[in-house]
Structure formats: structure tokens, C-alpha cells
Chain A
Amino acid sequence: MNQLGSRRYLIGGIVVAVVLLYIARLFYIQIVDDKYKIMAVNQAIRRIVDYPPRGVVYDRYGKQLLVANQAAYDLMVVPNQVKNCDTLELCRLLNITTVEFVDRFKRLKKQNPATYQPAIFEAQLSGRAYAALQEKLYDFEGFYVQSRTIRNYPKGIGAHLLGYVGEVNERIIEKNPYYLMGDYIGLSGIEKSYEEPLRGIRGVRHIEKDVFNRERAPFANGKFDTLGVAGVDLISSIDLDLQEYGEKLMKNKIGSIVAIEPATGEILALVSSPTYDPNLLVGHEFSKNYRKLELDSAKPLFNRALMAMYPPGSTFKLINALVGLQDGTLFPETRYGCNRGFSMGGVHVGCHAHASPLDLLGAITTSCNGYFCNVFRNQVEHYKPSEAGYRKWREYIMSFGLGARLPCDLPNELKGNVPSAEYYNKMYGKGRWRGLSVISLGIGQGEMLLTPLQMANMCATLANRGYYYLPHAIKKIGNQTVGQYDPRFGKKNYTKVERKNFDIVVAAMGNVMTNGTGRIAQIDSIKLGGKTGTAQNPHGKDHSIFICFGPLDNPKIAVAVYVENAGFGATWAAPIASLMIEKYLKKKIKRVDLEKRMMEGKVLPVYEKVKKKVIPTDE
């Protein structure tokens, strides 16, 4: 019996061994291996994102909507939860082929190998598909519908200004951890620069679901949930009618119009042509349309108002005049002769026929090249060495907000180019260049490049006689003014030129409109100040430029117009600028013939050669 009694130890040993084995296994499953925890969360907890509606954007009077919202429903999928899917039925509901269905899964998997994360399977379902799906959704395990609002641009204008909203990509997610796959973000324009206030804060709910995919209860009593905060509405500074009018005027032309309210820096209109209907870049057609626009040889996606850099041409003579007056190298009475141009030391800059010699007023009025070559050379070479004079000149120029980002409140603004002394040192060698070497800067040519926005700001500075506010397209962010939102926009920026010198130049600008190169753009009832420009274009016909503000004594609007390959400033840019001002100030156009000619005119060298028209009155 004793012998048998010892068998208890073997039996007990087996019991202990089994229990220890099980404990070891439990240790592995419960503590070492994370796999099961992840699987559990995935199958039992559904993360539902509440996208608060994105803020809308009103026009400057707070009455009409530039950007609105519309409801959309996205079909979401958690790829690794898709089981026993009736593919045919789903394809039928979504109106896609099974091949497309399989492709999409492959694509999703490529985009995000973590197949337990939800992804958009079909963005913005049609109303019919949504209704049909809603009823059958429980049949499609792993799929669910998420509602969100998408953009709607009621007027279909201001594409470059307003920008567009699109799905975030991995690069954005990496940079900004707020965003998650499937989120939307403003990708350009106002949508981008005011992304944060517009988007609000995403709310997240975690819902426990049961084995039948039914929602049961908030997970952990909502401990991990966050409440969404709705996006803030914006009031833009855009005059909707003016914007629309500008786009009409620029139809069939390449170029841009920027209109600014000088007293505030508010952008009234920002036209880049060719443009497109912003509604094209909304919803599930986004990629298709985007690709189409991207391939368009006229580059409709390119925001010329902020990104195209052109020589300012003769408009820049005004600035050179201001610098000269301020620095004491030029006086209103200063006269220079001009015999069909400026010739000195082997350098020749041509000019057109006009009376000679001229004083400053006459030179601005007739836009004399010879005169301003002298002004510039005098300014630069007044100092020894010339490099110092150039540096001094450049300082003045930069104080106008040129050659650097202003910056405005829109993204992707370019700097333009006001070449540095170092640049010329490199080009010619230190001490081996002087005013004469870079003489074309005197008439706004050469390396000098400005964006239309900078031109408009320059015009606003002239209208203000000496200062500018940074241009901005948004007046109010919710209850905040833009100055409170970003103090830079509430601050006056003074140039290095005194008001009295501005008065002289501005008076000349008035003369340009009544007696000079801008006569075509006169408005009987409004006194304007303007300046034509023609930018030499090595690639083709010159660009037509005009800057203009009005009324002369109490400026309400300053406009810069560029029309590419359209010849003299007076031909296209000046009439367009003046129509813009008339539209803004009078709301009604009296010069119907001019309006008609501008609207119907085509200047599209890309598609057709335009015959050179002979216009008698320009430089």
C-alpha cells in the first residue's frame, strides 16, 4: 500500500504541471503577445469620427456665400474586417465593376498596409447609392457610412483665391499628427491658410459593437471620446460682384487682376486667368478633374496673381521717381533730354516719339524711357562706389514690399525679384558694374520681377501716399478681425519715401489718365490715377500692364492688371483696370462698348496668334 501511496505524488505532479503549463500559456497570450489586444479592439470598438461642418466664407458684406457646405456620405471600409462580402451586390449599389472593386482594395492596401484602419472606399456617395446602402449595410461587414460635409461654391468663382479641400496624404499626416487617413484639409487658397479655424476640431466617438456589428454602447462611457468643435465662419474682403466681373473680363486672356482697398489692405478681387470652377475640385470627381486641369496647357491651376512673376515695366518708373525725389537725386523740375531713347556708353534704351526735354510730370505722363534711365543712373551713381548707391536704391524698393513675400494671407505667394548687389557682383565682378550696367531696372525691366499682388500693393501704397497694409482676403474670423487674428494685418507699413514726394508722383498719375498713356481708361465721373506698363517678354509678345486707383483724392480701390502677350499696357490692361474700378465704385458700367470689347476680346497666344494691333497712344 505504501508503494501505491507514493503514486499520489505522480498524480499531484501531473496536476501541478498542467496548471503551470496553462499559466505559462496565459502569460504568453495575455502579457507577451499584443496581437490579441489589437484584434479585440478592432472587432469590438468602432471609432466614429464626427466631422464638424467646415466654416463657410461670406463675401465682404457678409451677405452672400463664397464657400458653402453640402452634405455628403462616405462609404468607409475597414479592410481586414470585410468578410463574406456580397461583392456583386455592393458593386451594383455603387455602380462599379467587380474589377474596380478588387482594384480599390489593392490600392487601399498599398496606401495603408495597416488594414485594420478605416479608409474611404467610396467618397461622397450619390443620394441613391446612400439610400440603397443604408438599408443593406448590415450585410456588408467591414463597411459603414460616415457623413460629412463637403464644399460647395455657389457662384463657382474665385477658384484661386478660395482654393480647394482634399484628402490628406501621408506627407501631411507625418507633418501634422492631427490629421488621420481619410481626413480632409484645405490644400490651397483661403481653405489652406485658414485651415485651422475653418475645420474646427474633429470629434471622435468610440462605440462598442457586438458580434452582429450592431452598435451597443459608448466605449468606456465615452472616456476617450472628444466633442467636435464646429469650424468658424469667415467674412472675406472679396466683393463677389467685382470678382465675378473681373473673371468675365479676363475670359479668354491669360493674366491676372488684383484689386485692393488701399485704406485697409483688403483684397477686393483676385483674378487669375484662365480659371476654373472650384466646384470641379469637390467630391469624388476631385482626382479626375484635378488631373485634367493639371494637364491643361494654359495651366488653370497656376495662381498667376500670387505666383506669376513679371517685369513691372513702366509702372516701376513711379517708384524710381519716388526714390529719386526722396534721396535728393531728382527734383520735379529736373529735365532730361530724350532722343528716341537713352544712349550712353554703348548702352541704348529705345523710346517713342515725344516732346523733349521733359520734366518729371511730363516724363511720367508720356512714360519716357530716356528720362527714367537717367533718373536711375543718377540715383545709383550718385554714390561712390555705384554698389553703395544700388544698395541704397534697393533698400527703398524693398520698403515697398517688393522683392520679398509681403506676406498676404494666401499660401504659395512668391517673392518676385529685386536683384541684390551680390547678384551683380557675381555677374560682373565686384566694383565692375555701375548704374549704367543695370540701367534697364530704371524702366522696370531686366532682372526685376514682381507678382501681380505686389503690383497691386504698390498701387495701393501710391494711393495711400506712402504706406500700405499687408493685403489680405479675410476680414473677420468668427468674431475676430483679421488684425486681432494676426496683428501683421492690422499694421500700417510705411515706405522710406515721404508723403510730399508721393503727392508729386500721384499728381502725375492723375495726369497720365487725363493727358497721357492712360487716356483710354478714363472714367468721366471718377478721377483716377494710373500708370501703363509694357513688360518685355523674351518668349513672345509683350505683357500688357496697368496699375490704377480711384478716386484720385480719396482712393477706394487700387487695381493691378496683367494681360500676358497682349502688347501695350493701354491696349488691354488699362481698360480692364478702369472697368473694374467703375464696376466697384459705380456698380454700373456706362462704357458698354469698351466693356463689350474687353469681354469678347481674345488674347490667347497659346491657341492662336493675335494680330498685332496698332494703338496710337503708348510709349
Chain B
Amino acid sequence: MGWFNIYAAVYNEEHKSIFSLNMQYGKQVMFIGISLAVALVILFVDGKFFATFSFWIYGFMILLLIATIFIGAEIKGSHSWIRLGGGFSLQPAELSKFAVCLALARYLSNVNIKMEKLQTRLVCAAIICLPVVIILLQNETGMALVYTALVMVLYREGLPGGFLLLGFSVLVLFILSIVIEQKAIIFSIIGIVAAVVFFFFGKRRFRRLIGITVVAIAAVGFTLSVNYIFTKVLKPHQSIRITALLGKIDPSQMKEAKKGVLYNVNQSKIAIGSGGALGKGWLKGTQTKYDFVPEQDTDFIFCTVGEEWGFIGTTTVLLLFMFLILRIIFLAERQKSPFTRVYAYGVASIIFFHLLVNVGMTLGLMPVIGIPLPFFSYGGSSLLSFTILLFILLRLDSYRMQIL
């Protein structure tokens, strides 16, 4: 049962050793200790506790998040850290993940809840969006984005696939409107898609025609607003990261970007690429050891794996994460209690989102969004957060045995 934990722990050890030259080494060992202690506590807590007190925990976390905006110290431009003294600080935004999962699980496990109801959907959205808004106010965009992963949970619990499709379409439109400068082309694409949908899938009813037209017009409107969103809503460094990723960067900005925004991604690719098939060996990485890759111990930790352990290492790590996530999904599906299932899906989707974005950005496939790689990146809050997420799941899973 605890095989993934052991694996996680082993990898913890491993990445710790990689940084044995850094001062973070000692701290991280301590974080592991704390995390294990918390894990132990969780395993001794009665399984029902989490279901019962999930809303309380959620409420407490929300309060903590709000408090953080005011008492939080400013680190790298965001107000998401609470200083604990002794040089340590806590990031409540990390910890709130499990609380949101619990609350969502608690709400959806209610017998009367049906995903088909608009009210249910709205409440779910509220549970998710409340912390997101607060975290956004803390200026931690990356962390806030993590919660979008919970859409996957809602989908599993009955949210129509149309919503996923809608989200996907919006994303495609967003990218298209950046990549293609002539709006007319996008409009015609929208028109063609609408027509295809109408003639092939629709029942050619009048109402449907109207519906499709409305959606199409909304799409046109969205396209037109992308520019505005892009320049006004997103911060400059965020928009340039996206344009850079899509290869639409202005050549005049290219040189600047290479030094600045693109530097991380470029260095990250160099580090990973230089690892080759077998890697340079433990502690032999020149790119990561000499600070060529920024944030290499936190968000760009995957570069260290790539450089020192090569393709074998990176593939192993990715496959382990994949098995971990699939394993959690498997665990989720065998639950009798919907509470545990929803919670498990929450855990799986959060881990997946972290993996998707974190590894994606080191490979230059995702925009640079500062979120850590679970169990790898340096940082107490992250480690603690994922430990809690996993161990509550373990506890709930073993609780399933008890009620059998």
C-alpha cells in the first residue's frame, strides 16, 4: 500500500543528496522529519475525523489564507508566506490544497448532491474559487492555477464532458488568436467549426442553430478580447512567457528575452539536454551545480535529474509519477465511500497538474509557471502539503478496510 510513499521517500533522499553541497540540504532533512511526523499523526487520527471536520479545516485554511495577505511577508513579489521565525516560513497556499480537496469531497459525498444540478455546480465552483481568488490576491498565480485541476474531479463526478470541451476550445482559441494575427482567419475557422457541428452532429433544429450561433458569437467576442486580456490582465512577464512559448515573440525582443524570460527555459533545456542518455552522474552536473539554471532546487529541480541521471533518470521519474497517479485513480475507484473517492481524485489531479506544468516548463512545452514538482522540489510547505494530501488518502483508504 505504501509503495508510492517509499518511492517518494527514496526520491526525497536522492534529491537531498544532490543538494548536499547546498545549505538547503539540512533544512530539507528537517522538513522530511516534520512531514513524516505529520504523516504519522495523520495515520493515527480516526478516518472519520477528516470527513467530519473537512469544512472546519477548509474554513480555517481560508481564514489563514486571508490572514496571510495581511501578515504575510513579501517574497519574490508575492504575499503568500508567513514567517515562522528562525528563518522558516510557511506558505498556506500550498497547504490549502488538501483542505479544498477535503471540502469538495465532503460536499460531493452528500447523498442529495447531483452534479446535474446547477446549484451543485455553483457550490463546487465556489469551494474551488474562494481560495483561488484569495491566492490570486496574494500574487501567487501559479498556485492558483493548480486548482483548475480540480475540474477533473468534477468531471469524474458527473460534470458533462461539454465543460471540458468548452475549456479546451477556449484554450485553443486563446492560442490561435495569439498565433494568427489576422482575426478574419479565426472568425472563418469558428464559422466552419460551427457549421460542421450543426450539420453533422446537430439534429438540425432551429433551437440548436441558435445555440451554435450564440456560442460562435461568444467565441468571436472572446477572440477579440484576447488581446485585451493579454496586454491588460496578464502581467508583462506572463504574457511574454506565453508568446515566447508559442514562438510568436517579436525578433526585436528576442535578444532581451534570451537573457531574461527565455533564459530559464533555455538553460533548463541545456541542462536536461546535456545529460544525454545516462546522465553525467550524481553531483557531476555542471549546468545545475554552477547555477546556470535559476531556481534549480525548487521549480527547476527536474533539470538536475535530467542532467545528472540522463534520459534513464527522467523517464524513471516520469513513469513513477504516472504510476503514482494511476495508482491513486485505482484506489479512488475501489472506494465505497464517495468522500474518499472524490478526495483521491482531487489528490491525483493536483499531482498531475503539478507534474504537467512543472516538467512541461523545464522542457519548454509549458509557459513558466512557478509551481514545484511534488516530493522533489526544495521547500517545506510543498513537501508538507503533498505528504498531508497523500497520507490522508492512505488513512482514508485504510479506513475503507475498517468499515468492511
**Interface membership of chain A positions 129-142, coded 1 if the CB is closer than 8 angstroms to chain B and 0 otherwise:** 00000000000000
**Does B372 touch A at the CB level, under 8 Å?**
no
Per the bound structure, the CA–CA distance linking A45 and B287 in Å amounts to 10
Report A-chain residues with C-beta under 8 Å of the C-beta of B259: 83-84
**Does B326 touch A at the CB level, under 8 Å?**
yes
- Known A-B contacts A30-B314, A44-B287, A209-B290; A25 and B155 likewise in contact (beta carbons under 8 Å): no
Contact B315 A26 (CB under 8 A): yes
Report B-chain residues with C-beta under 8 Å of the C-beta of A103: none
Contact B273 A15 (CB under 8 A): no
**Interface membership of chain A positions 41-52, coded 1 if the CB is closer than 8 angstroms to chain B and 0 otherwise:** 101110000000
- Known A-B contacts A29-B269, A36-B273; A22 and B365 likewise in contact (beta carbons under 8 Å): yes
**Does A553 touch B at the CB level, under 8 Å?**
no
**Does A614 touch B at the CB level, under 8 Å?**
no
Shortest CB-to-CB span from A14 to chain B, Å, is 8
- Known A-B contacts A19-B318, A22-B359; A30 and B273 likewise in contact (beta carbons under 8 Å): yes
**Does B26 touch A at the CB level, under 8 Å?**
no
Contact A27 B311 (CB under 8 A): yes
- Known A-B contacts A15-B322, A31-B276, A31-B311; A7 and B156 likewise in contact (beta carbons under 8 Å): yes
Contact B306 A4 (CB under 8 A): no
- Known A-B contacts A12-B329, A22-B318; A30 and B157 likewise in contact (beta carbons under 8 Å): no
Contact B314 A45 (CB under 8 A): no
Report B-chain residues with C-beta under 8 Å of the C-beta of A30: 272-273, 275-277, 306, 310-311, 314
User: Chain B: which residue is nearest A40 at the CB level?
Assistant: B274
**Does A433 touch B at the CB level, under 8 Å?**
no
**Does B360 touch A at the CB level, under 8 Å?**
yes
- Known A-B contacts A22-B360, A22-B363; A208 and B352 likewise in contact (beta carbons under 8 Å): no
User: Chain B: which residue is nearest A38 at the CB level?
Assistant: B274
Contact A8 B329 (CB under 8 A): yes
Report A-chain residues with C-beta under 8 Å of the C-beta of B290: 44, 208-211, 216
Report A-chain residues with C-beta under 8 Å of the C-beta of B315: 23, 26
Per the bound structure, the CA–CA distance linking A219 and B285 in Å amounts to 10
Report A-chain residues with C-beta under 8 Å of the C-beta of B274: 36-37, 39-41
Per the bound structure, the CA–CA distance linking A37 and B310 in Å amounts to 12
**Does A5 touch B at the CB level, under 8 Å?**
yes
**Does A18 touch B at the CB level, under 8 Å?**
yes
**Does A11 touch B at the CB level, under 8 Å?**
yes
Contact B286 A44 (CB under 8 A): yes
Per the bound structure, the CA–CA distance linking A43 and B28 in Å amounts to 30
Report A-chain residues with C-beta under 8 Å of the C-beta of B322: 15-16, 19
Chain A residues within 8 Å of chain B by Cβ, number: 39
**Does B152 touch A at the CB level, under 8 Å?**
yes
Contact A40 B333 (CB under 8 A): no
**Does A35 touch B at the CB level, under 8 Å?**
yes
Report B-chain residues with C-beta under 8 Å of the C-beta of A43: 270, 287, 292
User: Chain B: which residue is nearest A5 at the CB level?
Assistant: B333
Contact A4 B158 (CB under 8 A): yes
Contact A11 B152 (CB under 8 A): yes
**Interface membership of chain A positions 304-320, coded 1 if the CB is closer than 8 angstroms to chain B and 0 otherwise:** 00000000000000000
Contact B155 A40 (CB under 8 A): no
**Does B291 touch A at the CB level, under 8 Å?**
yes
Report A-chain residues with C-beta under 8 Å of the C-beta of B306: 26, 30
User: Chain B: which residue is nearest A83 at the CB level?
Assistant: B259
Contact B363 A25 (CB under 8 A): yes
Residues 24-75 (chain A) with a chain B CB within 8 angstroms? 25-27, 29-31, 33, 35-37, 39-41, 43-45
Contact B273 A37 (CB under 8 A): yes
Report A-chain residues with C-beta under 8 Å of the C-beta of B307: 40
**Interface membership of chain A positions 580-611, coded 1 if the CB is closer than 8 angstroms to chain B and 0 otherwise:** 00000000000000000000000000000000
Report B-chain residues with C-beta under 8 Å of the C-beta of A15: 322, 325-326, 329, 348, 352
- Known A-B contacts A4-B156, A211-B291; A29 and B273 likewise in contact (beta carbons under 8 Å): yes
Chain B residues within 8 Å of chain A by Cβ, number: 47
User: Chain B: which residue is nearest A214 at the CB level?
Assistant: B290
Q: Which of A8, A19, A37 contacts B276 (CB 8 A)?
A: A37
User: Chain A: which residue is nearest B360 at the CB level?
Assistant: A22
Per the bound structure, the CA–CA distance linking A22 and B314 in Å amounts to 10
User: Chain B: which residue is nearest A42 at the CB level?
Assistant: B270
**Interface membership of chain B positions 284-318, coded 1 if the CB is closer than 8 angstroms to chain A and 0 otherwise:** 10110111100000000000001100110011001
Residues 193-243 (chain A) with a chain B CB within 8 angstroms? 208-212, 216, 219-220
Contact B286 A36 (CB under 8 A): no
Residues 404-441 (chain A) with a chain B CB within 8 angstroms? none
Report A-chain residues with C-beta under 8 Å of the C-beta of B93: none
Listed residue (A22, A39, A45, A211) with the most chain B CB atoms within 10 angstroms of its CB:
A22
Listed residue (B274, B291, B292, B359) with the most chain A CB atoms within 10 angstroms of its CB:
B274
User: Chain B: which residue is nearest A35 at the CB level?
Assistant: B273
Contact B363 A40 (CB under 8 A): no
**Does B187 touch A at the CB level, under 8 Å?**
no
Per the bound structure, the CA–CA distance linking A33 and B277 in Å amounts to 11
Contact B273 A19 (CB under 8 A): no
Report A-chain residues with C-beta under 8 Å of the C-beta of B193: none
Shortest CB-to-CB span from B401 to chain A, Å, is 21
Residues 330-361 (chain B) with a chain A CB within 8 angstroms? 332-333, 345, 348-349, 352, 355-356, 359-360
Q: Which of A18, A26, A35, A210 contacts B291 (CB 8 A)?
A: A210
Report A-chain residues with C-beta under 8 Å of the C-beta of B271: 40
Report A-chain residues with C-beta under 8 Å of the C-beta of B287: 40, 43-44
Report A-chain residues with C-beta under 8 Å of the C-beta of B269: 29, 36
Report B-chain residues with C-beta under 8 Å of the C-beta of A23: 314-315, 318-319
Contact A26 B314 (CB under 8 A): yes
**Does B321 touch A at the CB level, under 8 Å?**
yes
Shortest CB-to-CB span from A138 to chain B, Å, is 15
Q: Which of B318, B319, B349, B363 contacts A29 (CB 8 A)?
A: B363
Contact A45 B326 (CB under 8 A): no
Listed residue (A36, A37, A211) with the most chain B CB atoms within 10 angstroms of its CB:
A36
Shortest CB-to-CB span from A1 to chain B, Å, is 9
Report B-chain residues with C-beta under 8 Å of the C-beta of A84: 259
Q: Which of A11, A40, A220 contacts B273 (CB 8 A)?
A: A40
Report A-chain residues with C-beta under 8 Å of the C-beta of B365: 21-22, 25
Per the bound structure, the CA–CA distance linking A41 and B318 in Å amounts to 26
User: Chain B: which residue is nearest A208 at the CB level?
Assistant: B286
User: Chain A: which residue is nearest B291 at the CB level?
Assistant: A211
Shortest CB-to-CB span from A21 to chain B, Å, is 8
Contact B291 A8 (CB under 8 A): no
User: Chain A: which residue is nearest B310 at the CB level?
Assistant: A30
User: Chain B: which residue is nearest A3 at the CB level?
Assistant: B158
Per the bound structure, the CA–CA distance linking A33 and B289 in Å amounts to 22
Residues 101-117 (chain A) with a chain B CB within 8 angstroms? none
- Known A-B contacts A30-B272, A30-B273; A12 and B326 likewise in contact (beta carbons under 8 Å): yes
User: Chain A: which residue is nearest B153 at the CB level?
Assistant: A11
Report B-chain residues with C-beta under 8 Å of the C-beta of A45: 286
Per the bound structure, the CA–CA distance linking A3 and B35 in Å amounts to 38
**Interface membership of chain B positions 75-101, coded 1 if the CB is closer than 8 angstroms to chain A and 0 otherwise:** 000000000000000000000000000
Per the bound structure, the CA–CA distance linking A212 and B322 in Å amounts to 37
User: Chain B: which residue is nearest A26 at the CB level?
Assistant: B314
Known: A19-B321, A30-B272, A43-B287. 4 other contacts (CB 8 A): A8-B329, A37-B273, A39-B273, A216-B290
Q: Which residues does A use to contact B, with CB under 8 Å?
A: 4-5, 7-8, 11-12, 15-16, 18-19, 21-23, 25-27, 29-31, 33, 35-37, 39-41, 43-45, 83-84, 208-212, 216, 219-220
Q: List 24 A-B contacts (CB under 8 A).
A: A4-B156, A8-B156, A11-B329, A11-B348, A12-B329, A15-B326, A15-B329, A15-B348, A15-B352, A16-B322, A16-B326, A19-B321, A29-B272, A29-B363, A30-B311, A37-B273, A37-B276, A39-B270, A39-B274, A43-B287, A44-B292, A45-B286, A208-B289, A220-B284
Q: Which residues does B use to contact A, with CB under 8 Å?
A: 152, 155-158, 259, 269-277, 284, 286-287, 289-292, 306-307, 310-311, 314-315, 318-319, 321-322, 325-326, 329, 332-333, 345, 348-349, 352, 355-356, 359-360, 363, 365
Q: Which 4 A-B pairs have the closest CB atoms?
A: A36-B273, A40-B274, A210-B290, A44-B286
